[in-house]
Amino acid sequence: MEIVNIVASGNLGVELDLNTLYNDLNIENIQYEPEQFPGLQIRFAQGGPVIILFSSGAYTIVGVKTNEQVQHLYDRLNETLGELGISYDSEEGRPEVQNLICKDELGREIDLDTLVIALGLENVEYEPEQSPFVYYWPENADCLITIPTNGQCIITGVRTLGEAEAAFNNFKDRIERLFSDRDSQ
């Protein structure tokens, strides 16, 4: 299983003047268009992860793959805001992981029509005219598993890698039982 993206968030506990920040921050990759989106978007590296700051002091970190990267970005934000004289309790404002996006493989091609019937309609969404994926909400986990025909699944809505692995392994076991029964007939 591979983590593709981590979404983390927190609150600095201070109100921020985003227009002033936009003008004062000496960062090349910064974007603020309040008429289109209320957040100030900061990238410390071209194409790198994004920190979105809101005037309330709330922030979101997107585009990292490890908890260490989340912490590094938060530390960099603290340093950058500190240089502008903005002070707050950095321990209180620490980011918490809200969502992991993970991927893993079933190791086989999947007939999505058969899969939908086998999984039952109450936990599945499949509209082949609109999307080439089956969306499955497992009964035993609070997540979404997105399934394409090639078996390369995406797991979202979990906060830890362990949760993602448990949900996917249960799903994979169910798929193997389902398709091994069909393959042996």
Residue linked to tokens 């299983």: 1
Buried b (16+ CB within 10 A) or exposed e, 55-72: eebbbbbbbbeeeebbee
26 and 57 assigned to the same domain: yes
User: What is the total count of domains within the chain?
Assistant: 2
9 and 87 assigned to the same domain: yes
CATH of the domain at 20: 3.30.310.10
Predicted TM-score of the model (pTM): 0.86
Q: Are 8 and 52 in contact (CB under 8 A)?
A: no
Residue 53 per-residue DSSP state: E
Domain hosting 51: range is 2-98
| pLDDT score for 84 | 95
Q: pLDDT digit string (tens) for 17-61?
A: 999 999 999 898 999 999 999 999 999 999 999 999 999 999 999
User: What distances in angstroms separate CA 122 from CA 14, 53, 126, one per listed residue?
Assistant: 44, 38, 11
Q: Which of 98, 122, 150 is the last residue of a domain?
A: 98
| pLDDT score for 184 | 52
Rounded Cα distance between 67 and 70, Å, is 5
Using 70 as the pLDDT threshold, list the residues of the chain that sit under it. 181-185
